[in-house]
Amino acid sequence: MSDLIQIVDAALASAAARSGHHLVCKPGCSQCCIGVFPIAYEDAARLREGLRILEQTDPAKAGRISARVAESLTRLTPLFPGDSTTGVLTEDYEDSFLFTDASEGSLGDNEPCPVLDPATGTCDLYEHRPIVCRTFGPPMRTADGNLATCELCYIHASTQEIEASELDPNIPALEQQSNEAFNASHNTHGETIVAYALRQS
């Protein structure tokens, strides 16, 4: 396990302990697994490693993931804001139809992560999930300095309770440093999405 993963998991455990009953995330709660989201190439490499391990330990489950990846790519590729050969997103991908939520019910908003098991509502590559998935739920600072939380959590929490539950604010900077080091050593750049990260070559 990388140093970043250990730091993030420890920070999450701390935030969860401070949150108490206000953090309602549990197996089967998968609202945050619906919708297309960008991931770093370090995350992509971790997911691929998880799938390789699963191919050895549970080939049937790995096969189901690969099938969902193929189905997802069939839906997403026509709208993919980037290079569909490499899977690299363009720098302005956030302005694309796939990533904007201007139209309710759009494909991007309703596309399930291909690693999500639709029968159980759990992640089939949980131990290898991206950083964004590991940190979602507890209060985190947005770019404008506000604290954001999952809309299902902290519903009855006071402002003070939310502030006291904040995830370590150093995580984004540590993640960026880790991603930059990974990209430099692997000659990668930009971001991708889970379906392209797990696409069969």
- Calculate the alpha carbon distances from 9 to 53, 103, 135, 192 in Å: 21, 35, 8, 23
What's the mean pLDDT in 100-129? 84
pLDDT value at 28 more than 60: yes
In terms of pLDDT, which residue wins out, 102 or 60?
60
**Confidence class for position 144, pLDDT limits 50, 70, 90:** confident
The per-residue pLDDT for 95 is: 87
| DSSP state at residue 18 | H
State the pLDDT at residue 104. Answer: 55
- Structure confidence at residue 101 (pLDDT): 60
Q: Is the pLDDT of residue 196 over 90?
A: yes
Question: What is the domain extent for residue 102?
Answer: 3-197
Token representation of residue 5: 């993963």
pLDDT category at 106 given cuts 50, 70, 90 is low
Number of structural domains found in the chain: 1
Mean pLDDT, all residues of the chain: 92
For 37, 43, 142, the CA distances from 98, given in Å and listed in that order, are 10, 20, 22
Per-residue confidence (pLDDT) for residue 160, from 0 to 100: 95
104 contacts: CB under 8 Å, gap ≥ 6: none
Helix axis angle, 41-57 relative to 171-186, nearest 10°?
Answer: 80
The encoded tokens of residue 55 equal 């191919």
Q: How far apart are CA 82 and CA 89, in angstroms?
A: 4
How far is Cα 96 from Cα 26, in angstroms, rounded to an integer?
32
In the chain, the percentage of residues whose pLDDT exceeds 90 is 79
pLDDT value at residue 96: 87
Q: What is the pTM of this model?
A: 0.91
Give me the phi and psi of 62, to 5 degrees please: -60, -40
Residue 103 has pLDDT above 90, yes or no: no
| Rounded Cα–Cα distance for residues 201 and 183 (Å) | 20
Query: Average pLDDT of 103-108?
Result: 61
Q: Read off the pLDDT of each residue in 62-87 and give the average, rounded to a whole number.
A: 95
First CA to last CA across the chain, in angstroms? 26
Q: Are 176 and 182 in contact (CB under 8 A)?
A: no
**CB half-sphere exposure, 192, CA atoms < 13 A:** 26
Give the integer Cα–Cα distance in Å for 134 and 101. 23
